[in-house]
Amino acid sequence: MLTVKNLNKSFGDNKVLNNINFNIEKGEICVLLGKSGAGKTTILRCINGLEDFDSGEIIIDECVMSNKNHISKNRDKIGMVFQNFNLFPHMSVLENIIAAPINVLKKTKEEAIKEAKEILKMVDLEDKINSYPYELSGGQCQRVAIARACALTPKVLCFDEPTSALDVDSINKVSSIIRDLKNKGMAIIIITHDISFANNISDKIIKISDGTIIN
């Protein structure tokens, strides 16, 4: 489902990714582990088209992308759940979720709302549909961010530190949702510093050090 092939990236004279290669299959959870500055977030940003890369290819569902523009044209194939959620504070939970399906996938508002309600059931937040981010806990905001990413029905879903600053109950709920998505065939890539969470959730762990895969 996802292949990262010979990926290289530098910021000026600083080479942050050095010939990165890995695969993630449909229905597989892959965790990237490494110290801060190892290159994990840069890999995720390249996969999502938030950062251009110097050379290499990112292949999603047999679609070959060799630069940021190619990835931008295939935005619906890739979902991203950010560490700080990045929810729109002036929008309700429902409005946060339906924005991308309407603007990116060109769905009608009625279609988007119907699908959003189904996704909110999946993340157990139907009762928060009209709430605003400031009214939610961190764990609830994380689940809304997951719901928003899922609204584009991506082939690959990326998580940046999904359990950061969450309590144990919230971590368990997020873990359950991630496993449900895996069981539905989604390829999932996760950055985390939480080794216990990584061992518990992953099918595959890739260790990154100084922009290089070391395992």
Q: Could you report the per-residue pLDDT of 23-64, keeping only the tens digit for each?
A: 999 999 999 998 888 999 999 999 988 889 999 999 998 888
**Is residue 75 predicted with pLDDT exceeding 80?**
no
* Residue 1 burial (CB count, 10 A): 19
Q: CA angle, corner 119, sides to 1 and 42, nearest 5? A: 45
pLDDT band at 124 (very low <50, low <70, confident <90, very high): very high
Cα(75)–Cα(71) distance, integer angstroms? 6
The pTM assigned to this predicted structure is: 0.89
Domain ranges (residues) in the chain:
1-79+178-215, 87-153
Confidence of residue 76 (pLDDT cuts 50, 70, 90): confident
Q: Is the per-residue pLDDT at 215 higher than 80?
A: no
Judge contact between 87 and 146, C-beta under 8 A: no
State the DSSP H helix or E strand holding residue 32, giving kind and residue range, or none if neither: strand 29-33
The three-class DSSP label of residue 123 is coil
Tell me the CA end-to-end span of the chain in Å, nearest whole number: 21
Strand, helix or coil for residue 66: coil
Tell me what the mean pLDDT of segment 151-169 comes to. 89
Domain 1-79+178-215 - what CATH class? Answer: alpha beta
Q: How big is the CA angle at 201 (ends 131 and 88), to the nearest 5 degrees? A: 25
Instruction: Report residue 156: phi and psi, to 5°.
Output: -130, 135
Half-sphere exposure of 12 (CA within 13 A, CB side): 1
- For the stretch 4-17, pLDDT in tens is 999 999 999 999 99
**177 within 8 A of 146, measured Cβ to Cβ:** yes
Q: Give the pLDDT confidence of 182-202 residue by residue, as tens digits.
A: 999 999 999 998 888 999 999
Max CA distance (Å), the chain = 51
Residue 59, both tokens: 């292949």
